[in-house]
Amino acid sequence: MTLQDYRFEGKMKKIKIGAVGLGRLGYQHAENIAFKIPGAELVALCDKDEVKLNKTADAWGIPNRYTDYEDMITNQALDAVVISSPSSLHTTQIAQALDAGLHVFSEKPLGTNLEECKIAEEAVERHPELVFMLGFMRRYDPSYAYAREKIRNGDIGNVVLFRGYSQDPESCIEGAIAYAGHSGGQFIDMAVHDIDLARWMVDSEPITIHAIGGCYAHQEFGAFKDGDNVAALMQMENDAMVFLFAGRTAPHGYNVETEIIGTKATLRIASVPQKNMVEILDHHGVRQECSQDFLERFEQAYLAEINEFIKCIHDHRKPEVTVYDGTKTTEIAYQCKKAFETNELIRM
């Protein structure tokens, strides 16, 4: 479909989207499309939970609802799909949608292993006329975008160290344990965001990886050769160091912070994971409240990335985030997982 196909009487036609997956993030994406993206129209929903599916579709007035993804993508009214299903389903659903002639936005990770990623790559290569975008939303957070421009402009000199922390709150641990069996592990499920940021900001690829960690509070993760807190140290091709920490037991809330140390300056993003600019002075002393989940912290970034996907379809161009970014990030995350499991230095 060409750009002209999306024009109607001098105006841009709304992109008709079907969304699959109504978990926490899938629900947020669907709600954004339904109510906050002017260039898009949510016309179909898909989820295995029929009760949740019908309740959501009824509340939003969505005419088409499916419990089977393959049925949804045969709907001739659709222009695109947004995929927020379990990670192990991503690449198959990406390929099916592209082969059906639909533009695709998929949540991370691209796949839980390289074989899965190749399925997506081949599908994207078969359909150069279609837009594919992967949901690395931190690239669309204003603070991260600003920091990257500082780095690209040479304002901090040569990058010495990239340090990324991603911590989920202890209050969400039951969900993490329930999902552990098909998450791919903490590096693939969680640290991929920091891996993507490191590649994007440092503009280099790792040559060595060492990873450590363990089950410090929740032994359940050990059954899946995973930990509740893990870390990795990488040396990049341009000699920059990258340190990643991913944890699931933060007592204070959702905590994502990043530091980039350069030869001329240091950048820190969310070094205090504050909910807003309010300071509370009470019998506890002086304090700031923290965001409690990723939806709250990256609310605007999630909105911006879907908006970019819609604009790419309208403008007949490709997004900056490619399928190959997804493959490379999964490859690095998998090598981190291997280094964690074997306690050996991995040479890429």
- pLDDT tens by residue, 256-302: 999 999 999 999 999 878 887 787 888 888 888 888 888 788 999 99
Those residues of the chain that have pLDDT short of 50 are: 1-10
State the pLDDT at residue 258: 97
CB 331 within 8 A of CB 210: no
Residue 255 tokens read as 């905590």
State the pLDDT at residue 10: 43
What sign does the CA torsion over 118, 28, 140, 174 have? negative
State the pLDDT at residue 2: 39
| Rounded Cα–Cα distance for residues 159 and 269 (Å) | 15
What percentage of the chain has pLDDT greater than the value 90?
83
44 Cβ neighbours under 8 A, 6+ residues apart: 17, 18, 19, 62, 63, 64, 65, 66, 72, 75, 77, 78
State the pLDDT at residue 280: 82
Residue 119's alpha-carbon distances to 88, 89, 98, 326, in angstroms, are 12, 11, 11, 12
State the pLDDT at residue 213: 97
State the pLDDT at residue 11: 57
> Which alpha helices (H) appear in 286-348, and where do they start and end?
294-297, 299-315, 323-342
* SS3 readout for 56-81: HHHHHCCCEEECCHHHHCCCCCCCEE
Residue 281 tokens read as 């002075």
State the pLDDT at residue 297: 86
State the pLDDT at residue 3: 37
| Rounded Cα–Cα distance for residues 348 and 308 (Å) | 33
Using DSSP, state whether 23 is helix, strand or coil. coil
CB 233 within 8 A of CB 242: yes
Peptide bond into 109 cis (omega under 30): yes
